[in-house]
């Protein structure tokens, strides 16, 4: 691009702001703060001593990454300001920032009594050890912001009586601001915690700190005419206390298939994972979705096709059982069935079935 054109474009953008280029450089794009107003929210107060045991205790709800377009305010305008608004929406979409979520009162006060307990107190305590509000791309688009938290019920002597690992995500309404939306999730978490204490169901207690894990997994399908390898990696919270849940496929990974007549390279994949705990040691996993990419073939054998590569689209589903105990850390493995349906092109067999072998690792 001609340097003169770059300079001219920069001047035009500066005129839109009616500011000098130096003034624009002073704009802070590093972080934004969203304050949650609790006046319109309803919290079930608890008759229990509450302790906020987080590092960022107090009014801070969470600090997580996002983009500028989700926090910027664009008031109604006309003329040149409207053009500026369109430009900002486009640019802000690609500016990563830290979003600080805070509540207009300390988090612990949303639950109930935070007064200090004396030495002869006979009341149990609800301890908030972890709270995170982050963006999970494996969820549906309108519910990708998810609240993960860990709370414990402790006796006056410090004994852990119960533990909860929270995983809450709700659908965001159309054009709903991030502040009210995060307030609704916070409201649901507090009220769900109240209901959980009333239910008196004892959960298994994790031996590990509650934090996101690195999960890597390879699925190897042994086919009649070759093999297929699907490798995925994700960074997510443990779901050890949940007996059944659904997640999208991790977006980072690749797929490779090798047969006698062709080989494929998967460049994209979309799908879901349905996971059900079978017992304390095993889970069942159903994965389904579709893939797309390129197929490499011997074009001398296909007179109607030109070139060495051709796009492909495939539907796939797998079902397997995996050795993955509750609160597992380290290697896991499984066995199951793979089923593929090749939609296009015709040079690939329409259907393929194979034995599925899975192996992976979970690092906390």
Q: Per-residue pLDDT tens for 32-61?
A: 888 999 988 988 888 889 999 998 888 998
Check residue 204 and give its pLDDT.
92
Check residue 65 and give its pLDDT.
84
What mean pLDDT is reported for the chain? 84
* 202 vs 123, more confident: 202
Check residue 304 and give its pLDDT.
56
Confidence of residue 218 (pLDDT cuts 50, 70, 90): very high
Cβ atoms of 334 and 273 within 8 Å: the answer is no
Cβ atoms of 140 and 72 within 8 Å: the answer is no
Confidence of residue 115 (pLDDT cuts 50, 70, 90): low
Comparing CA positions, the residue from 127, 122, 121 lying closest to residue 107 is: 127
User: pTM for the full model?
Assistant: 0.81
Domain boundaries, the chain: 29-73+95-199, 213-363
Rounded Cα gap, residues 313 and 334, in angstroms: 27
Rounded Cα gap, residues 107 and 111, in angstroms: 8
Minimum mean pLDDT among 1-5, 23-27, 291-295: which range?
Answer: 23-27
Q: Per-residue pLDDT tens for 163-172?
A: 999 999 999 9
Q: Per-residue pLDDT tens for 224-255?
A: 989 999 999 998 998 989 999 988 888 778 89
Check residue 26 and give its pLDDT.
36
Cβ atoms of 187 and 321 within 8 Å: the answer is no
pLDDT higher than 50, residue 89:
yes
Confidence of residue 77 (pLDDT cuts 50, 70, 90): low
Domain over 213-363 is classified CATH 2.40.160.20: yes
Question: What topology is assigned to 29-73+95-199 in CATH?
Answer: Rossmann fold (3.40.50)
pLDDT higher than 50, residue 268:
yes
* 96 vs 159, more confident: 159
pLDDT higher than 80, residue 81:
no
Check residue 4 and give its pLDDT.
46
Average pLDDT over residues 257-261: 86
Cβ atoms of 34 and 62 within 8 Å: the answer is no
* Burial class (CB within 10 angstroms; exposed 0-12, middle 13-18, buried 19+) of 263: middle
Average pLDDT over residues 11-21: 41
Confidence of residue 96 (pLDDT cuts 50, 70, 90): confident
Check residue 52 and give its pLDDT.
93
Check residue 123 and give its pLDDT.
84
Check residue 307 and give its pLDDT.
61
How many other C-beta atoms are found inside a 10 Å radius of the C-beta of residue 326?
Answer: 15
* 53 vs 140, more confident: 53
* % pLDDT > 90, the chain: 49
Check residue 161 and give its pLDDT.
96
pLDDT higher than 60, residue 217:
yes
Check residue 118 and give its pLDDT.
46
């Amino acid at each position: 691009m001609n340097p003169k054109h770059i300079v001219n474009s920069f001047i035009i953008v500066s005129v839109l702001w009616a500011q000098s280029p130096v003034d624009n450089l002073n704009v802070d794009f590093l972080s934004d703060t969203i304050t949650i107003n609790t006046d319109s929210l309803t919290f079930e107060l608890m008759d229990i001593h509450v302790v906020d045991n987080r590092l960022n205790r107090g009014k801070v709800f969470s600090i997580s990454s996002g983009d500028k377009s989700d926090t910027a305010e664009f008031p109604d305008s006309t003329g040149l300001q409207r053009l500026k608004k369109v430009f900002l929406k486009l640019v802000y979409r690609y500016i990563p920032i830290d979003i600080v979520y805070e509540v207009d009162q300390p988090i612990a006060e949303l639950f109930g009594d935070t007064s200090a307990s004396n030495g002869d107190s006979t009341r149990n305590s609800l301890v908030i050890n972890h709270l995170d509000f982050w963006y999970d791309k494996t969820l549906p688009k309108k519910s990708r912001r998810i609240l993960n938290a860990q709370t414990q019920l402790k006796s006056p002597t410090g004994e852990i009586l119960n533990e909860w690992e929270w995983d809450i995500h709700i659908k965001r309404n159309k054009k709903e601001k991030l502040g009210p939306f995060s307030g609704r999730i916070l409201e649901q978490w507090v009220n769900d915690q109240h209901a959980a204490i009333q239910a008196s169901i004892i959960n298994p207690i994790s031996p590990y700190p509650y934090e996101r894990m690195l999960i890597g997994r390879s699925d190897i399908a042994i086919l009649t005419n070759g093999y297929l390898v699907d490798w995925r990696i994700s960074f997510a919270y443990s779901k050890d206390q949940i007996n059944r849940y659904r997640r999208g496929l991790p977006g980072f990974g690749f797929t490779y298939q090798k047969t006698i007549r062709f080989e494929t390279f998967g460049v994209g994949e979309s799908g879901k994972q349905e996971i059900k705990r079978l017992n304390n040691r095993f889970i069942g996993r159903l994965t389904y979705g579709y893939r797309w990419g390129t197929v490499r073939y011997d074009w001398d054998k296909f007179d109607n096709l030109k070139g060495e590569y051709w796009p492909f689209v495939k539907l796939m589903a797998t079902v397997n059982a995996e050795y993955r105990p509750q609160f597992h850390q380290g290697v896991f493995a499984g066995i199951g069935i793979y089923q593929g349906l090749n939609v296009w092109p015709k040079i690939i067999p329409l259907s393929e079935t194979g034995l599925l072998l899975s192996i992976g690792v979970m690092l906390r």
